[in-house]
Structures are given as C-alpha cells and as structure tokens.
Homo-oligomer: A and B are copies of this chain.
Amino acid sequence: MPEVPHGVTTGDALLKVLSALGNPHRMRIVAALLENRNYVSALAREIGMGRPLLHMHLQRLEAAGLVTGTRELAEDGKTMKYYDVTPFVYELTPHVIARAAATLTGTGDGPGDDTAGRTTGRPDRGAQEDAEEEAK
C-alpha cells in the first residue's frame, strides 16, 4: 500500500530475490519469522538447524531485502539480533522477467555498459509493473 513504490527493480536485485526464495529452508525461515520475529539462536532451535547455517541463510535473505536484522538489547544485557520479514510484494510475470533480464549485469548485452551497473543501491522495494502497453 503506502509501500511498494513501484516497479523499478534491477535485474540483479530480482535475481537475488528469486534465488533467495528458491530454497525450501529459506521459505520456511520466512514463514517462521512471519509468525513471530525472533533472534537467531531461538529461530535455529525452532526450525532445527545449525546456527552457522541459519546465519548464512538469513544473510542471503537480508541481502535480497526480504528480511531485516536488528540488534536489540535484552533486559539482562544480552545482545541479540532479531529478524523481521520485510513486507515485500513482487509480481512475477513474463514481462517483469523480461524487463529484469534486460538489466542483468554479468554476461549481458546490457544497454551499453558493464560497469556493475545501475543497481539502485539499497533496493528492497517490491516490484510492481504498472500496466502499460508493450508493442511486441
């Protein structure tokens, strides 16, 4: 609603999101965090997974902008990192994919350049295609 500015997602960004979500464990992590946020160790116990592993998965999810970690201080002084799910909204359609593919860095025939491109930097915004006409 107020969020989701709208569809200016880089190919690279979308790629990160898709490959991040394309993993059973990571899906499960998102599910668990959606039900209730919590910190790494607890989450690890909840879904039965080693801390190092979970850590790495969370990192991947955060890099894709799907979850965010915040360092919080418990009452007894323990520092714990809580993770929350980002309210992302991505609409996947052939067009969206095609458009994203056009801005892929790496092996692309990108529009002219190959310098680690136009990643909006910190985009964790959802992708929304505004309806438009596409002569094809």
Instruction: State the A residues within 8 Å of B (CB).
Output: 11, 14-15, 17-25, 27-28, 30-31, 34-35, 85-95, 97-102, 104, 106-108, 136
Smallest CB-CB A-B distances: 10 pairs: A19-B22, A18-B22, A31-B98, A31-B101, A90-B92, A27-B101, A22-B22, A85-B94, A28-B101, A18-B21
Our pick among B11, B15, B28, B30 for the contact of A94 (Cβ within 8 Å) is B30
Copies in the complex: 2
Q: Secondary structure of the A side of the interface?
A: helix
A97 to B27, Cβ gap below 8 A? yes
User: Contacts of A92 on B, CB cut-off 8 Å?
Assistant: 17, 21, 88-92
* Closest B residue by C-beta to A85: B94
A113 to nearest B CB, angstroms?
14
**CA–CA, A107 to B22, complex, Å?**
15
A68 to nearest B CB, angstroms?
12
